[in-house]
Amino acid sequence: MTIDRLFIALMTVCGLVTAGVVVLFPESREFRLAPYFWILIAMAVFEGIAFAINRGAPGTVIRWSPA
């Protein structure tokens, strides 16, 4: 499985979990960090782990490229 597919799968899970938490516990929107930042933190952690595991080798982190 490529790093891109792992990233998409993780972001799908993170989005669904965040949406579920916000729907089930509406007061969670009042935390110090907004739910938007929860997803950004998950993205940063994924990128950091991918970078660390592959020691910064080219092509081991997610890059946006126009289609």
Q: What's the predicted TM-score (pTM) here?
A: 0.72
CA distances from 22 to 17, 36, 61 (A): 9, 11, 29
- The pair phi, psi for residue 62, each rounded to 5°, is -70, 130
Residue 22: domain span: 17-52
Question: Residue 6: is its pLDDT beyond 90?
Answer: no
In a domain, 2, yes or no: no
Amino acid 51 reads: F
In a domain, 47, yes or no: yes
Confidence category of residue 47, pLDDT binned at 50, 70, 90: confident
Confidence category of residue 15, pLDDT binned at 50, 70, 90: very high
Q: How far apart are CA 15 and CA 35, in angstroms?
A: 10
State pLDDT tens for residues 16-43: 999 999 999 988 888 888 888 999 999 9
The total of structural domains in the chain comes to 1
CA distances from 21 to 15, 35, 40, 43, 52 (A): 10, 9, 16, 18, 30
